[in-house]
Structure 1
Amino acid sequence: MTTSTPTSATATPVSLLGLGPMGRALATAFLDAGHPLTVWNRTPGRTGTLSRRGAAVADGVEEAVRGGRVIVACLRDYAAVRAVLDPPPGDWTGRVLVNLGSGEPAQARSLARWADGHGIRYLDGAILSPTPAIGTPSAAVLYSGKAEVYEVVRNVVAAIGGTGGYVGADPGRAVAHEVALLDLFATSVNGLAHAFALAGAEGIAPGELAPYAAGIGGLLTEMAPRWAEQLAAGRFPGERSTVASAATALSHLVGTAAGHGLDLGALASAKRAADRLVTAGHGDDGLARLATVQHADGAEQGRQA
């Protein structure tokens, strides 16, 4: 565990809405940390061992709200949270709503406005780790919303473990981190799948390619902080590699993939971005400049804040 068990003076009653795999992991973490726990799930029968460990099982959302001072929602998406809590069940005086579901930054901001309009203190969160990490030092969770609300629940959400942190007053900021990182993961997974498909089309067995593919992850680890510095400064030195060389490599890659009838969506998008920069006179710049031309209309963004 990352925190000591709260004393009776510091333990806070928590109510958890949603008992999917992540919800059950959160419930276990709160119980392990010594917080009195009430749980509710739309579909009965998912409490498992939670009730035997002392969790109270609420028959309805209003009963669940009554059971906690910190109400944690871990539902499918923001629409599900609204469906469960609108209109707000019970008395929310002295209570805080912490949403740990998934969605879009704009949806987080909308839910925060709804909560504010009903006098509900609200904090949005984004869980960046799989269920086995919850309650351990390896868990990563981000929170955004009013700073004073985060301070109210800080000791409670510490039970989730790891490197959780407050990232700002904008309620959508935590989930904005999440979707940006999901963007990286999803496109990387798709790239790996596409690479295996291309290799297979060229007669290369998966086991032959795998050792070389594994090394790509290390390149990204080095590139991320270096790109961040360059984007913040608005300077893109091309000593290591250039946009022009990337455009040429992408031409070869697109041609090979097209020859095998493979999908060109992601590759064609990458090539368009590189070609735009070359046409605009930035061919000698480093690859980090590619982050500035990702809008659908191809317009180049200014210096990144």
Structure 2
Amino acid sequence: MNNSLDTSVTVIGLGLMGQALAGAFLKAGHPTTVWNRTTSKADQLVAEGARLAPTVGDALKASSLTIICVTDYQAMHELLGATDIELDGTTLINLTSGASAQAREAAQWAEQRGAHYLDGAIMAIPPAIGTAEAVILHSGPQSDFEAHKSTLGALGTVTYLGADHGLASLYDVAGLAMMWSVLNAWLQGTALLRTAGVDAATYAPFAQQIAAGVAEWLPGYAEQIDRGSFPAEVSALETDARAMAHLIEESEAVGVNAELPKFIKTVADRSIAAGHGGEQYPVLIEEFGKPRND
């Protein structure tokens, strides 16, 4: 592991997130080289001590560790794919958002060019970078991660997920699924209560309590999924389905959009029709785990 604060770093891509990444490295004392198509985006960083490289090639040569934070994987390939770009011996950490298949393909491409490659995902907003609240996910060879873990720690809480380069992308979208599902459920409840004059701020603490309570179920439900056995220890799915019908009826009765609860009940009804009505809610993994073509 490299523990030296003198470790130099290159950051390619200076959108809001890229600027935050470079700024965190500078603040931690790392000599930092930056590059961006629009050079004016580097002005503040240069004023803080960063070096602006004239070309992508120069930026890569400046450091053995390069962080890439651009629009998408295509943009990364366009920037680094030229024949005059030398990647041999460089460690590339790609924090660009994309699909798991793209991450795996990028890893193969980088390795063919002689580079060490880690794929990553940033679970934070730019202002949080450099604090413990910023969670940065990494996947790829563990030896490459360990070699730069100390340097990467300048960005926040760094986490290694495994050797499969696609894991960071998958965790990223899994986190988004959680985020949007929780928010949509809260918005459904908020819409219901507003019909009775209850404002969102009044409902929010109760919603937080419910969300925290449901989160406590996850480890036990995860065990059921991993075992492939779903005994109804708390409630059977057919009982849950009756409560779902009540939510739909109440939403329609007070004039609130019922699409979300109808979708949830549709998934439950399919599982019940397949003979799982007497099992517990996590049995729905079998529905979520297969594609629908309709």
Query: TM-score, normalized by length of structure 1?
Result: 0.86
CA distance in 1 between counterparts of 2:133 and 2:201 reads 30
Deviates more, 1:44-53 or 1:55-64: 44-53
**Alignment length, in residue pairs?**
291
Partner amino acid, structure 1, of 2:251 = A
Distance 1:263 1:296, change over 3 A: farther
Please say if residues 61 and 89 of structure 1, whose CA atoms lie closer than 8 Å, have aligned partners that are also in contact.
no
Counterpart in 2 of 1:126? 121
The answer to whether the aligner puts 1:91 opposite 2:80 as a matched pair is no
Structure 2: runs of 5+ lacking an equivalent: none
The answer to whether the aligner puts 1:106 opposite 2:104 as a matched pair is no
The answer to whether the aligner puts 1:296 opposite 2:287 as a matched pair is no
Counterparts in 2 of 1:207-286, with a 5 A limit?
207-259=201-253, 262-286=256-280
CA displacement at 1:36 relative to structure 2: 1.2
Report Cα offsets for 1:171-199 as digits up to 9, x if no partner.
Answer: 10111111111111012222222322233
Distance 1:89 1:250, change over 3 A: farther
Partner amino acid, structure 1, of 2:140 = G
Distance 1:258 1:83, change over 3 A: farther
Partner amino acid, structure 1, of 2:146 = E
Please say if residues 243 and 287 of structure 1, whose CA atoms lie closer than 8 Å, have aligned partners that are also in contact.
yes
Please say if residues 3 and 151 of structure 2, whose CA atoms lie closer than 8 Å, have aligned partners that are also in contact.
no
Secondary structure (helix, strand or coil) at the match of 1:167 reads strand
**Higher fraction of helix:** 2
CA distance in 2 between counterparts of 1:226 and 1:152 reads 36
The answer to whether the aligner puts 1:46 opposite 2:46 as a matched pair is no
Report Cα offsets for 1:226-259 as digits up to 9, x if no partner.
Answer: 2222212222232222211221111122233345
CA displacement at 1:48 relative to structure 2: 4.6
Counterpart in 2 of 1:194? 188
Report Cα offsets for 1:140-172 as digits up to 9, x if no partner.
Answer: 22211123322332232122232x222111110
Deviates more, 1:167-176 or 1:257-266: 257-266
Counterpart in 1 of 2:28? 33
Deviates more, 1:173-182 or 1:242-251: 242-251
The answer to whether the aligner puts 1:171 opposite 2:165 as a matched pair is yes
Partner amino acid, structure 1, of 2:90 = R
Q: Which runs of 4+ in 1 moved over 6 A?
A: none
Structure 1: runs of 5+ lacking an equivalent: 299-305
CA displacement at 1:291 relative to structure 2: 2.2
CA displacement at 1:203 relative to structure 2: 4.7
CA displacement at 1:265 relative to structure 2: 4.0
Deviates more, 1:87-96 or 1:70-79: 87-96
CA displacement at 1:211 relative to structure 2: 3.3
Please say if residues 198 and 262 of structure 1, whose CA atoms lie closer than 8 Å, have aligned partners that are also in contact.
yes
CA distance in 2 between counterparts of 1:145 and 1:286 reads 36
Secondary structure (helix, strand or coil) at the match of 2:216 reads helix
Identity %: 37
Please say if residues 3 and 150 of structure 2, whose CA atoms lie closer than 8 Å, have aligned partners that are also in contact.
no
Secondary structure (helix, strand or coil) at the match of 2:34 reads strand
CA displacement at 1:37 relative to structure 2: 0.6
CA distance in 2 between counterparts of 1:113 and 1:254 reads 48
Partner amino acid, structure 2, of 1:147 = Q
Distance 1:88 1:73, change over 3 A: farther
Please say if residues 68 and 96 of structure 2, whose CA atoms lie closer than 8 Å, have aligned partners that are also in contact.
yes
CA distance in 2 between counterparts of 1:88 and 1:101 reads 22
Counterparts in 2 of 1:55-70, with a 5 A limit?
55-70=50-65
Deviates more, 1:172-181 or 1:51-60: 51-60
Distance 1:209 1:34, change over 3 A: closer
